[in-house]
Amino acid sequence: MRAPATCALALALPMIAAAPARAEPIGALGVGSELAVLGDGPVQRFDATAIVYVTRRLGLAARGGRITPDGAHGVATVGVAYRAAAARPKLEVVIDLGAGVAWPTAPAGTAGVTGFLWPTRLPIALTLSARTYALPADEAPLGFSLGLGLALAR
């Protein structure tokens, strides 16, 4: 009895992987690592992002990450995301702009661009991002980061 179920699963998985991507984007959940130039110098930091599209091109974005390796300082922002270009099903470029807080307690702003690349038809994308930060620091009120990550995106 198990053999037919195994055969059906073996036939279904390649068809799911080869299925065309949806035309309407839903959003993305992503995690990654960024090399940020903030304050005292380069910092390797963790970053997490969530995007939910309200229309085909416009969405809401939330982003959070730590600034220092110990997590004592970080930044969390919310804002808008715009799908600037798409070559579906393989590539998508998203521009986002957000405002929020840098902890312990200070206002912060961020603007960035993220490229989503789907090497397969599965909803898992590789991401490459470039971002600027406006932080209320005495030494370096502006920062820049480059990041790589993975996203569960559609």
* Report field, pTM of the whole predicted structure over 0.85: no
Q: Is there a domain that residue 9 lies in?
A: no
- C-alpha span between 49 and 134 (Å, rounded): 18
Q: Comparing C-alpha atoms, which of 153, 154, 150 is closest to residue 46? A: 150
Domain that holds residue 44: 20-153
Q: Is there a domain that residue 4 lies in?
A: no
How many other C-beta atoms lie within 10 A of the C-beta of residue 45? 22
Predicted pLDDT of residue 69: 65
Predicted pLDDT of residue 2: 43
Q: Which amino acid, 150?
A: L
The CATH number for 80's domain is 2.40.160.20
What does the DSSP assignment read for 67-92? SSTTSSSEEEEEEEEEEEEEETTTEE
- What are 1-30's pLDDT values in tens digits? 444 444 343 443 343 444 444 446 688 888
Q: Is there a domain that residue 57 lies in?
A: yes
Q: Report the number of distinct structural domains present in the chain.
A: 1
Q: Is there a domain that residue 10 lies in?
A: no
Those residues of the chain that have pLDDT short of 50 are: 1-23, 139
Q: Is there a domain that residue 39 lies in?
A: yes
Q: Is there a domain that residue 93 lies in?
A: yes
